[in-house]
Amino acid sequence: MSSQTALSRREVFRLTGTVAGAATLGAVAPVAGTRAAKRAFAQETDEMMAGSEPRFAYVGAYTRGAPGGWSALADVNHPEGVAVFAVGAGMGDLMLVQTVPSDNPSFVAMHPSEDYLYVLNEIADYEGQEMGSLEAYAIDDESGQLTLINRVAVGSIPAQLVVSPGGDYLAVATYVGGTYELFPINDDGSLSEASSVAQQEGSGPHERQGAPHVHAVAFDPSGEYLAGADLGTDTIKVFTYTDGNLTEVSAAMVA
């Protein structure tokens, strides 16, 4: 089933960089804290999903202050970064089914097969290096719960990730690293190390444009091209990615 179907069994909702997101995860996490609560929770979830195909929402939120980010998040300290919710068939009620420890998971994307979820960790200190990271998760078809497959390094302070229409590549924009990065997706949903990295160069006139700040990427619907935007130089670029190699085919200034 396509992930574009309106009533897909799984839907991805993301919540990036807000106090509300961090607070919500903290407030709902204790729901299943006792045996009695777990039994009641399971019964309520079954009732919510009765007579309908399971649908789930996947929410990422900052677990600590984003480096160089919004000052209101400076004191955020919540370890359960990703939350999985069952979505009720009637009024769209949300019921927490799982929380997953993840480091500043500020963006999520689902594989076209709906079998895997990819999470971007907006950090700059992965394994003691000035790097961010990406996580690949398997999605349980019945419960919607996540199981970590693997984690790989990416450029510093990644900002966005997107899966190719064919499900064979993951593209990432890194804000501080100033790079467009491409990661092969393996048959088991795991991520390989980056197969190609395109470094943006240059700067702009504004005080925030002292260096490249790549912040958005998108595949075209045919899956032939990857487009990206850089705040640091006010530039949009288009790449092909034949055999996992990013090749720039055009660029345009937008401001």
* 6 is a domain residue: no
pLDDT in tens, 35-70: 444 444 455 555 555 556 779 999 998 898 766 655
Q: How many domains does the chain contain in total?
A: 1
Asked if residue 149 is part of any domain, the answer here is yes
Q: Is residue 14 part of a domain?
A: no
Q: Are 115 and 189 in contact (CB under 8 A)?
A: yes
pLDDT score, position 148? 99
Encoded tokens for 235:
């530039």
Q: Which residues of the chain have pLDDT under 50?
A: 1-41, 71
Q: What's the pLDDT tens digit per position in 206-221?
A: 667 666 678 899 999 9
**Pairing, β 196-199 against β 214-219:** unpaired
**Separation CA 110–CA 194 (nearest Å):** 19
Indicate which CATH number applies to the domain containing 100.
Answer: 2.130.10.10
Domain that holds residue 211: 19-253
Taking the model in full, what pTM does it have? Answer: 0.79
Count of positions (residues) in the chain: 255
199 within domain boundaries: yes
Residue 46: what pLDDT? Answer: 58
